[in-house]
Amino acid sequence: MTLGEKLRSIRKENNLTKQELSEAINVPRERIKLYESGGEAPSDFYLAAFAQHFHLDPVDLIILK
């Protein structure tokens, strides 16, 4: 599973749209789309924002299973 697939899976498990997530963590929706598609990797800052929002350790996001 890629980082983008993991981010998408976590978002969907939490029943959030890209728009809802973008508003919750103050990231443009287009950037979330890029992250989930693998077009761009999130910076450490945004990775931490995702992790904090979903109550995860940032390391759990980057360890790909």
Q: Render pLDDT for 23-65 as a digit per residue (tens, 0 to 9).
A: 999 999 999 999 999 999 999 999 999 999 999 998 888 876 6
Tens digit of each residue's pLDDT (9 = 90 or more) over 6-26: 999 999 999 999 999 999 999
**CB-based burial of residue 59 (10 Å sphere; 0-12 exposed, 13-18 middle, 19+ buried)?**
exposed
Structure tokens at 5: 């697939």
The domain ranges of the chain are 3-62
Structure tokens at 15: 């029943």
pTM of the predicted model, to two decimals? Answer: 0.86
Domain 3-62 in CATH 3.40.640.10? The answer is no
Distances (CA, A) of 49 to 32, 54: 12, 9
The total of other beta-carbon atoms located within 10 Å of residue 22's CB is 17
